[in-house]
């Protein structure tokens, strides 16, 4: 019985995740990797010679993958990643804070749709419009208090 299981395991197709975890990914796996935003990001990050444009196209179907792609992949098109990452307040904040070349105003516009991320933006992003962030943060009592207590320049 054990021999049968071993034989079946050897014949089973290896997934992208398995290959990634065991450092077995090759350029031949790019097509499979690019069917999922997360795998496309990891593929571009871990496989030398990966087609960055193809991987970015796949990764930019998800805001958090777009953020990580712009942050971690050298030849990434930052503007293209920013368009996708800035569809979600959390990733817009992260993009503005951690990605070189981010459009702070564009990211702030999206981050300031949520009181928590408006506070975080004012706290962590240089060049944030404190008044704009405060206006949104003050829509929630907890974030209004936190903003007033910890943000320099709060009114």
Q: What is the pLDDT of residue 141?
A: 97
Q: What is the pLDDT of residue 91?
A: 98
80 and 116 housed in the same domain: no
How many structural domains is the chain composed of? 2
Q: What is the pLDDT of residue 26?
A: 92
Last residue of a domain, one of 66, 85, 104: 85
4 and 72 housed in the same domain: yes
SS (HEC) of 82-141: HHHHCCCHHHHHHHHHHCCCCCHHHHHHHHCCCHHHHHHHHHHCCCCCHHHHHHHHCCCH
111 and 52 housed in the same domain: no
101 and 154 housed in the same domain: yes
Query: CA-to-CA distance for 39 and 125, rounded, in angstroms?
Result: 29
57 and 105 housed in the same domain: no
99 and 113 housed in the same domain: yes
Domain that holds residue 40: 1-85
24 and 68 housed in the same domain: yes
Last residue of a domain, one of 51, 85, 119: 85
68 and 102 housed in the same domain: no
Q: What is the pLDDT of residue 136?
A: 97
Q: What is the pLDDT of residue 153?
A: 84
8 and 29 housed in the same domain: yes
| Entry field: residues in the chain | 155
Q: What is the pLDDT of residue 17?
A: 86
pLDDT in tens, the chain (155 residues): 667 655 655 565 678 888 888 888 999 999 999 999 999 999 999 999 999 999 999 999 999 999 999 999 999 999 999 999 999 999 999 999 999 999 999 999 999 999 999 999 999 999 999 999 999 999 999 999 999 999 998 88
């Amino acid at each position: 019985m054990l021999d049968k299981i071993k034989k079946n395991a050897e014949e089973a197709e290896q997934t992208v995740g398995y290959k990634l975890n065991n450092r077995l990914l090759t350029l031949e796996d790019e097509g499979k990797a690019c069917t999922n935003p997360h795998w496309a990001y990891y593929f571009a990050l871990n496989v030398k010679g990966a087609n960055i444009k193809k991987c970015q196209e796949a990764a930019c179907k998800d805001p958090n993958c777009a953020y990580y792609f712009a942050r971690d992949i050298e030849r990434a098109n930052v503007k293209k990643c920013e368009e996708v990452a800035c569809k979600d307040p959390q990733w817009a904040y992260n993009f503005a804070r951690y990605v070189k070349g981010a459009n702070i105003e564009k990211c702030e516009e999206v981050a300031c749709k949520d009181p928590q991320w408006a506070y975080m933006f004012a706290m962590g992003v240089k060049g944030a419009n404190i008044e704009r962030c405060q206006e949104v943060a003050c829509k929630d009592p907890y974030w209004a208090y936190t903003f007033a207590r910890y943000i320099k320049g709060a009114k």
